[in-house]
Chain A
Amino acid sequence: MRQHKPKIVWLQAITCNGNTHSLLSSNPSRFELLLNSFNFFYHPSITTENSLEDVLNLKEIDFLLLEGAVTSNKQFYQISDNSINDLLKKVSKKAKYIISVGSCASYGGIHAKFEQNSDIKGLQDILNVWELKKLKQPIINLTGCPVHPEWILQTLFTLKEFGKIGLDMQGRPKDIYFGLAHHGCTRNEYFEWKIEAKSFGHKEGCLFYEEGCRGPMTHSNCNRILWNDVNTKTRAGMPCIGCTEFDFPRDNMLETKKNIGIPSEVPLGINKRAYLTITGVAKTFKIDRLNKKLIE
């Protein structure tokens, strides 16, 4: 018996292609499994047998994935005379699941900062979910810049097997975004004792006070499901810039905003007064082991 392979249609709006690249760099055996388990019906930058015309003729799409921010302004983006908004309004009616892939598709991302066009948005802002009769659950936001390939795979497989995925207040799958990038960071001990990295790219020190690390405020599992199975920003010595959050990209991302040397934001869920007391004390300990190079 031939098993039904759910159809995936991937559309692109205003994007740098980063999420596509990310998907293509997923773990090869996982990617193969994806191709074997789903029918990758259409993707504008990957060769498939089908055209956009074929997508429009489809009766039903299992998974509609969008990469990139949307605009109704055809001067800035259009696909064969259609604005992306119009196209999406048509195609979304066919979809059982709609997934915004990446921060731009979710909330507009960096493109929403473009001052010459105030009509750049995330997908959820232009679709009226109540009109989408086939939709089996609210629009899913897979945030990240780019999104981790494993997050796409995990979401697709979960939906294929179980039909539903729990979402948080921002529409992100809870299983993926419940924790913080800070969890699993190899620098946690430096964070505890307030030992700062001297600069980017070092193995030693935490990047919170000086380098703008958003790990303790950013929902993602980067440090538990590593990139390319090997590494993450913070492990490599680059601060987390909070790419999975609603406010990404913020200004001055590699700086920690401070008032008279005191960080203006403290880790999620901690009262500032308590945090300052603890860190003030932690800083006064000088732990030789942590002030040395890890590899001499």
Chain B
Amino acid sequence: MSTKELKKNNIIENALKLFSTKGFYNTTIPDIAKAMRMSVGNMYNYFASKEELAKYAIKYSTNILAEQLRKINHMDISSKEKIFLFTKVYLENVKNSPEVIEYFLRVYLSNREVFAQGCEGFLCVSEFVTEVMIFLDEGASKGEFREQDFFSAFSMIMGCLGGFAFLSGEKVLDKDLLEYSDGIAENIFRALKSDETT
């Protein structure tokens, strides 16, 4: 990675924290510059606008998940074990860098207008969606998952995980986040499994 890329990622990490707590519109470029101890002018050398930064940030944050899921996809384990593993990894992300998931939930999903151009559909999250496709395709071709529509399967996984991240962000959970991991994974697995799989 070039120094410019590294710096960009560094800005993103700071911006994610601000975006996910203050929201997209309440966070300004000077806010981010301040958190970075950088001049506002220098910030513009990396991102031409706040919108551009927001789009880069969504790619950055979903690519973290994509990479983790890709590793799991490459493992020689059952689809059930993959679900348990991915759920755990996902919740660890929520616990250790809540801003990444929060950004997705609070900015990407609720400020669609910011992403309308240049991030249409899967454009900015495609690496992650592809990994979910590979995961589902392999599970179904091995007969571990039953046939169903892609989007109903996709939203089963992501809706479940995203919803849980939301509960965690709202601080309504009474136990440690990771203690829920196997229970959630079990639910996802049951929703996807073929009737023959136990």
A contact residues vs B (CB 8 Å cutoff): 258-262, 264, 272-273, 276-277, 280-281, 283-285
Contact = CB atoms under 8 A, between A and B. Distances in A.
Contact of B150 (A260, A264, A281, A284): A260
A260 B140 CA distance: 7
Nearest to B73: A273
Contacts of B151: 261
Given A260-B153, A285-B120, 5 more contacts: A259-B137, A260-B140, A280-B121, A280-B130, A284-B122
B126 interface: yes
A285 B139 CA distance: 28
Contacts of A280: 121-122, 126, 129-130, 133
Chain B residues touching A, range: 20 to 34
Interface string B31-47: 00000000000000000
Contact of B126 (A260, A261, A262, A281): A281
B134 A276 contact: yes
Contact of A273 (B122, B123, B134): B134
A285 to B, nearest CB: 7
Contacts of B13: none
Contacts of B153: 260-261
A181 to B, nearest CB: 25
Nearest to B138: A259
Contacts of A273: 130-131, 134
Contacts of B149: 260-261
B140 A277 contact: no
Contact of A259 (B120, B130, B136): B136
A259 B141 contact: yes
30 contacts: A259-B136, A259-B138, A259-B139, A259-B145, A259-B147, A260-B137, A260-B140, A260-B147, A260-B148, A260-B149, A261-B149, A261-B151, A262-B133, A262-B136, A262-B140, A272-B134, A276-B130, A276-B133, A276-B134, A277-B130, A280-B121, A280-B130, A280-B133, A281-B121, A281-B123, A281-B126, A283-B121, A283-B122, A284-B120, A284-B123
A284 B115 CA distance: 13
Contacts of A272: 134, 137
A33 B153 CA distance: 60
A176 B128 CA distance: 41
Contacts of A262: 133, 136-137, 140, 150
